[in-house]
Every structure is written in C-alpha cells, then in structure tokens.
Structure 1
Amino acid sequence: MNKYLTLIGILLLLSGAAACKKEKQTSTVETLNNPEEISEDNASTVEKGKSPEEFVPKGYVIFDTIYGDLNKDKLDDLLFIIKGTDKSKVIQDENRGQLDRNRRGIIVLLNKNEGYELAVKNYDCFSSENEDGGAYFAPELSVEITKDKLFISYGYGRYGYWQYMFRLQDNDLALIGYDSSSNNGPVVNVETSINFLTRKKITNVNTNENADSGEEVFEKTETKIVRSKLMKLSEIKDFDELRFFDE
C-alpha cells in the first residue's frame, strides 16, 4: 500500500513541475510578444549622426537646404527638402516635355555642435514641383525658419497663398498656425487666420466688389474651431489635402 502511495506522490510531483515549467514558458513568450514592453527602449532612441547627409534615406536626393534656429540655442539647425528618384515617376508630357513627378519630403535636424539629432522625418508629404496646375501654374512651395518657427508656404501668384506655422513640441514639430489669402489679382477677397493654440479662427471677407488694390472693405468674423489636438509634421501624409477652410 505504501509503495502505491509513494508512486502516486512521485507522479503528482512530476506532473506539477511540468505544468509549472509550461506556465513559465507561456508567460515568457507572452512578454516577448508584447510590443509595448519590447519596443519601449527603441521608441525613446533618438537618431544621431555627425554628417547631415547620413539622414537622407536611400532612393532620395537633397532638393533644398534651409538653416535656422528652431530651439533657441543660438545654433543653426538644418532642414532638408528631399526628393524621390524613382525612374518610373519621370514622365513625358505632351506639352511640357520630360517631367519628374517624384514626391518630396522633409527632414529636420537639430544642431548639437559635434553632430546632428533627428527631430522630424516625413519622406513624401509634398507633391512634385512639376505637378499640373491646370489653367495656371501649380502652387510653389517655399520653406523657411524664422524666430524659432518653421513656415511652410504655398504661393499661387495672383490667386493668393496659404501658409502653415510649426514649432518644436513633444519630440516633433506641431502645427500651431495657419494663414491664407484668396486673391483676384492685387485685390484680396478673403483672408483666413487660425491659431491652433487658442483654437481661434479669424476670417476677413472683402465686401467691396468693385475694389481696386487697397480699397477692400473687410467684414471680420471670429469663431472657435473644434480641433483640440495639435497636428504633428511627421504625421501629415499630404499637404495638398491639408485645408482648414471649414474648421
């Protein structure tokens, strides 16, 4: 009888040990497969390099370079406008000849004296400079850094312009302002200004239909916008689709 009890006890011990081992392995696998736990350190890693060109990805070339202080440390930070090099995007237009329709993107680097630190990368947020503008030329992109702010603007000749203002915030560049002017030649029809920090939108509409330049009579409207979360430069997929007329 004692032999049977001893044998049963041994079997129970072995069974319990195997179950414990299996539970421990399962728990370990679940932990390794948890993306929040394994990517936490990687998410906080900042890309650094001594040469700015190190940050330009394969398949892109530098289209333009802009300098300016974004973080008020009295050092010139650096911004690249980059452009894709996909040969299939180079087309032959019937009227304009060969056109490179590769999209453009932006890389923002902070100057750290002995090297650079990546602030923002967005490789395809701008259309090609060779897009079809229809009856008029396509809007012209311009980028500048002024008073620690990044300004991304589109000029549309006699039809006006629109402009986005960004500042460094939350390890990115946050959209804090938007301005636009809809014109008919030198005459301004509508002006729009949005402050995303105060959520205030101001619209000036010219009510003088026969105005020459400088003779506009504006009717001002001030409203609150619903957007509360600031948009990040790294998350904007296409500036061509970014409009705030209905905010």
Structure 2
Amino acid sequence: MKKLVFYSITLLSAIACNSKSEEKSNSISEHKETISDTVQTKEAEPIAEFHDNSLDFIPKGYIIYKEEGRDEIKGDLNKDGLEDLVLMIKGTDKSKVIQHETRGELDRNRRGIIVLFNKGTNYELAVKNNSCFSSENEEGGVYYAPELDVSIEKGNLIVHYAHGRYGYWSYTFRHQDQDFELIGYDASYNRGPVTQYETSINFLTKKKLTRDNLNKDDDGDNYVENFKDTWEKLPAKKLIKLSEIKDFDELNF
C-alpha cells in the first residue's frame, strides 16, 4: 500500500514537473516572439542621401524657385565650418495654373524647401518639405500677399514673411534631433508706420513676450512709442519640426 502511494506521488510530481516545464518553455517562446515582433516593427533609421550636384535633390514634378535679384541661400547650419545650401522649390502641376479675372494667369503651385549639408566633396540631404509654403500668387486682401524670404543667420534657419505696412512675422529653426526644430517666433503687427503690438516667443525657454503699444492710436507728428510688456509661461510642448509642417499659413501663436 505504501509503495502504491509512493508511486502515485512520484507520478503526480512528474506530471506537475512536466507541466511547469512546458509552461516555462511556452513563456520563453512567447517572450522571444514578443522581442522578435518588437525588433521587426522598430522604425528603420533614415537612409542618408548624398549627391555631388545640388540639383539632383530636386524631386520629380518640381523646379528651383528663385526670385530675381536674390542670392543663393548659404551659411553654416551644423557648425562644421562649411557653407550649407538651402534650395527653394516649386511644383509644376499645370492644373494649379489658373486664369484670374483681373490678374491674368497665376501659378498657384505651392513652394517647398530643401536643406543640404555641405560635406566638402558632395551634399547630404538634411531636411526636405516639398509644399509647406503657399504660392507667391495668393490673394492679399486689401494689400498684396506677404513676401517670403528664407535666410541663414547665426547658424539658424530663418523663414521670414514681410507684409509691408502691416508688419512681419518670422520663424527661427535650429538643426537638432535629425531635423530643423522651431525654437523662436517673432512678429510685429503694424498700421502704417505705427506698431500696434509685437510678439516674441522662445520655445526653448517656453516664454512669450507681448508688447502692446499704448500710443498705437496716436500717429501724429509728436507720436512716441510707449510699450507695455507682458510675459507668459507657455505649457511644455514638443518642438515643431520643419519636415512635418504642412502649411506655414496654419501656424498660429
């Protein structure tokens, strides 16, 4: 009887041991599958693109956009001592060329930007956004459409809109996190020669300065600017990347 009990206990122990072994094996197998899935779904690093000729970076369906009298946009954007290059491009879709009732034929193809790092013997693509800017032939309301200008200043990429007597607004981008991120915004809202108010935002420190001209309604001969400054602390947000901006006209701060 004792032997029967012993054999029963031994058999049950063996079954339990095999069950635990199978569970452990299944658990390890499932864990390996999970790791395998994770590796397979991990986003691949972007492949660097190099060309000897800067024009080789222009995508199909686009051309170089350059206003008459403007120089090439060059400057050091990644602090390596070499002059990098910024190209403005424009779409060539014929369906975007319209006939305006008073202005005649207008090319409403959108514009974009390509930033190239100078590697000495060739260029490397730093960032590209094919259609983030509206065309140069948009409506300007009671005034002409704002003029777009792109430049490099103190190692930063500047996108500047000038709107004549109505003021200006500009965006400051810095190369970081494998893109160009928006670190600053400045704007001046005017009525003729008189500034109504100004805005300046530092997205790194998350501080916004608004300057309200208390003498904005006095535009006589004795006009004197008198600004009241107001500071705000902005909530923490992810910095905007140049490559992800769909339309600069939709950026509001």
Q: Structure 2-normalised TM-score?
A: 0.80
The match for 2:7 is none
**CA shift at 1:120, angstroms?**
0.6
Structural mapping, 1:1-247, within 5 Å: 34-36=40-42, 39-40=43-44, 43-64=45-66, 65-208=72-215, 209-212=217-220, 215-244=224-253
The match for 1:7 is none
Aligned-residue CA RMSD (Å): 2.2
Structure 2 CA distance, aligned partners of 1:34 and 1:89? 41
**1:158–1:207 CA distance, 2 compared to 1 (3 A):** same
Structure 2 CA distance, aligned partners of 1:199 and 1:211? 34
Structure 1 CA distance, aligned partners of 2:220 and 2:188? 16
Report which stretch shifted further, 220-229 or 127-136.
220-229
* Number of residues of Structure 1 aligned to a counterpart in Structure 2: 216
The AA in structure 2 aligned to 1:58 is K
For 1:58-101, what per-residue CA distance to the aligned partner results, in whole angstroms no more than 9, with x for missing partners?
00000034111111222110011100000000001010010000
Q: Is the CA contact 1:103–1:126 (under 8 Å) kept in the aligned structure 2?
A: yes
The match for 2:9 is none
Give the secondary-structure state (helix, strand or coil) at the position aligned to 1:197. Answer: coil
Give the secondary-structure state (helix, strand or coil) at the position aligned to 2:129. Answer: strand
Q: Structure 1-normalised TM-score?
A: 0.82
**CA shift at 1:182, angstroms?**
0.2
**CA shift at 1:228, angstroms?**
2.6
Give the secondary-structure state (helix, strand or coil) at the position aligned to 2:165. Answer: helix
**1:51–1:32 CA distance, 2 compared to 1 (3 A):** farther
The AA in structure 1 aligned to 2:47 is T
Structure 2 CA distance, aligned partners of 1:173 and 1:222? 26
Q: Which portions of structure 1, spanning 4 or more consecutive aligned residues, are displaced by more than 6 angstroms?
A: none
**1:146–1:33 CA distance, 2 compared to 1 (3 A):** closer
**CA shift at 1:119, angstroms?**
0.7
Structure 1 CA distance, aligned partners of 2:41 and 2:193? 56
In our comparison, the structure showing a higher alpha carbon Rg is 2
Identical pairs, percent? 58
Q: Is the CA contact 1:89–1:102 (under 8 Å) kept in the aligned structure 2?
A: yes
Give the secondary-structure state (helix, strand or coil) at the position aligned to 2:65. Answer: strand
Gaps of 5+ in 2: 1-28, 67-71
For 1:5-35, what per-residue CA distance to the aligned partner results, in whole angstroms no more than 9, with x for missing partners?
xxxxxxxxxxxxxxxxxx9xxx6xx859943
